[in-house]
Chains A and B, each alone.
Chain A
Amino acid sequence: MASYRDPELRDKLAAEYVLGTLSGRARARFESLMRYDRELRRAVAGWDARLTPLALAGSEVAPPARLWRMLERRIRHTERRANWWGHLAFWRTLAVMSATLALILGVMIGRVPPPELPMSTVAVMADDSGQPAMVVSWAPMKAMRDPHIRVKILQEHPTMAATTSWELWMLPAGNAPPVSLGLVSLDRSQVMKLPPTLAGKMQGAWGMGMSVEPAGGSPTGAPTGPMIFQGRCVTIL
C-alpha cells in the first residue's frame, strides 16, 4: 500500500494505465484505487489529455447506419423512465436483489448450526454501478443483550484512500437526517456494537448508506463525502 503514495510511482502507473499497458490484476486494482482517490484521477486525466490527440490522429470511419438505429431504440427506452421513474426502477431492482440475497442469507444462516439469532433485517448495499458491495444485517434489537449489527464487505478488493474513513449511516424513514452508526474497516466481516440509544432507532431504518469521510469520520455529524454504497432495508422472517 505504501508504494501507492509515492507521487512519482503514481504518475507512472497513471501513464501506463492510460497507455493500456497496465493490465490484468494491476489494472483492476488501479481502477479500484482511482474511484476513491481524486489525485489519481487527476493524474489519469492529465495523461488522457496528453495522449488523446494521438488516439484521434488516425482515419475517421463512419459506423454503419444500423448502429444509430439501435442506439436510438435503446435511448428511447430509457428516456421514458427518466427522472423519478428511473429512481423507482433502480430501487425496485435493488429491492428484488436485496430480497434474493436475504433469502440466500437466510438459507445460509439456516444451515449454520447453531444459529446465534435469526437475522431479521438485511440491507444489501450496492455501489453506483449497481453491484452489491456490502451487506448489513441485524436481529431484533430488543432480543439482544448487547445490540450489534453485522457488516459484510462483498467487494473482492475493497480499498480506502489513506486519509479517509468509511462511515456507515442509517437512513431513517421519512425526511429525518442520516444517523451515524460508526466507522467501518476493510475487514470482510465485522460486528459493530450499538449503544442503546442507537439500537432503539434501528427499527425505523429505511436504508443504509456508506460515505467516504475524512480520517476519523465526518466532522459535522452528517455525511460530508460521497455515498459510495446504498441499499434499502428488507425485513426477513
Chain B
Amino acid sequence: MAENRLAADALSARLEGLLSQCALKNQRSFADLYALTSAKLFGVALRILRRHDWAEEVLQECYVNIWHHAGDYAATRSAPLTWMTSIVRNRCLDWLRRPQSEATGEEYDIAVEAWEDEAPGPMERLIAAGEESALARCLGQLDAKQRQSIVLAYFHGLSHSELANHLKEPLGTVKTWVRRGLERLKGCLSEGMRAKG
C-alpha cells in the first residue's frame, strides 16, 4: 500500500511540473500531460456522459481549457489530478444539464447496469488503491441507500430526480439520503485525518 502512495505522490509531482510548463506554453509538456492523464479523464467523462461522441467533445474542450488556464493551477493548492478531474466533471455536468440533452430513463438504466457489471466495481478499486482506502472505509460505513445515492450521483452524474427515478423512491427521501450521506462522510473522513495526525 505504501508503494501505491509513493507512486501517487510521484505522479502528482510530475503533473505539477508539467502544468507549470504548460503555463509557459510548452507544447511538449502538454503532450506528456495528455499522455499521463487522458485515459483517466476520458474514463471519468464516459461514465458521466455515457456517450462516446459527447465524451470526446467534452474532453477536448477540457484539455484546451487546461492548456489556457494551466497558469491558474498553482493558486488552487489542489492536487493536479483533483484540479483536472473537477474541470472535467463540471464540464460534463454542464453538458448533461443542458435543457436539450436531459438523459432518458433508458440511458441511466444502462449506465447503472454497466456500473453494476463493472469488475471490479469502484468500491473494490478504491480499496485496492490503498492510499484512498479512507474514502472506501467511510463509504462503507454509510447506509447502503446513502452510499448508493452518493456513488450514483458522483460516479455517474445522476441528478436528484434521476436518482429518485432509478431508486424508485420519492425525491425528498433521496435528497435526505444524499445530504445525510455527505454529512456522515465528512465526519468520518475528518476523524481519519485527526487519527493520522
CB contacts (< 8 Å) of B139 on chain A: these are: 54
- B 155-175 contacts with A by CB, 8 A: 155, 157-160, 163, 175
Whether A50 pairs with B60 at a CB distance below 8 angstroms is no
A207–B11 CA distance with the chains assembled, in angstroms:
44
Q: Given the complex, which residues of A lie within 8 Å of B175, measured CB to CB?
A: 21
**Does chain A have a CB within 8 A of B67?**
yes
Nearest CB of A to B14, in Å = 16
Asked if A53 and B56 sit within 8 Å, CB to CB, the answer is no
- CB-CB contacts below 8 Å: B110-132 with A: 118, 122-123, 125-126, 129, 132
Chain A residue with the shortest CB-CB distance to B122: A57
CB-defined contacts of B43 to chain A, threshold 8 Å: 56, 58-61
Check if A55 sits within 8 Å of B44, measured CB to CB.
Answer: yes
User: How far is A79 from B70 in the complex, measured between Cα atoms in Å?
Assistant: 14
Q: Does any Cβ of A come within 8 Å of B151's Cβ?
A: yes
A interface bracket (residues with beta carbon within 8 Å of B): 35 or more
**Interchain nearest-CB distance for A219 vs B (Å):** 23
Decide if A70 is an interface residue (CB 8 Å cutoff): yes
A175 on the interface (CB 8 Å rule)? no
**Roughly how many angstroms separate A19 CA and B153 CA in the complex, as a whole number?**
6
Checking A12, A20, A78 against B67 with a beta-carbon cut-off of 8 angstroms, the contacting residue is A78
| Nearest CB on A from B36, distance (A) | 11
Which residues of the other chain, A, contact B145 by a CB distance below 8 angstroms?
A: none
Task: Write the chain A residue with the least CB distance to B139.
Answer: A54
Residues of B within 8 A of A115 (CB): none
Q: Within the assembled complex, what's the spacing in Å between the Cα atoms of A56 and B139?
A: 15
The binding surface of chain B is classed by DSSP as helix
Interface 1/0 per residue, B66-94 and A, CB below 8 Å: 01100000001111011101100100010
Say yes or no: A45 contacts B155, CB within 8 Å. no
With contacts A20-B154, A49-B82, A75-B30 taken as known, whether A12 is within 8 angstroms of B126 at the C-beta atoms is no
Given A53-B129, A55-B89, A61-B39; A21-B178 close (CB under 8 Å): yes
B141 interface residue (CB < 8 Å to A)? no
Residues of chain B within 8 A (CB-CB) of A53 are 126, 129, 132, 135
Judged by a CB distance under 8 angstroms, whether B25 is at the interface is yes
| B178 near A70: Cβ-Cβ < 8 Å | no
Shortest B23–chain A CB gap in Å is 11
Q: In the complex, are the beta carbons of B42 and A63 less than 8 A apart?
A: yes
CA distance A67 to B35 in the complex (A): 12
Give chain A nearest CB distance to B124 CB in angstroms.
Answer: 9
The answer for the CA separation of A74 and B34 in the assembled complex, in Å, is 14
Do A48 and B182 form a contact, CB below 8 Å, given A21-B160, A57-B129?
Answer: no
CB pair B68–A78 under 8 Å, yes or no, is yes
Choose one: B27, B81, B123, B157; the contact of A75 (CB below 8 Å). B27
Establish whether residues A57 and B125, one from each chain, have CB atoms under 8 Å apart when the complex forms.
yes
Q: How far apart are B191's CB and chain A's nearest CB, in angstroms? A: 13
Do A19 and B126 contact each other (CB < 8 Å), given the known contacts A48-B86, A61-B42, A79-B25?
no
What are 18 sample pairs from A and B whose C-beta atoms fall under 8 A apart?
A: A12-B183, A16-B178, A19-B153, A21-B159, A21-B178, A23-B93, A23-B159, A45-B82, A52-B81, A52-B86, A53-B126, A54-B154, A56-B85, A57-B132, A62-B39, A63-B59, A71-B60, A72-B31
List 8 tightest A-B contacts by C-beta distance, closest first: A53-B132, A60-B39, A57-B122, A57-B125, A63-B42, A15-B182, A52-B82, A62-B39
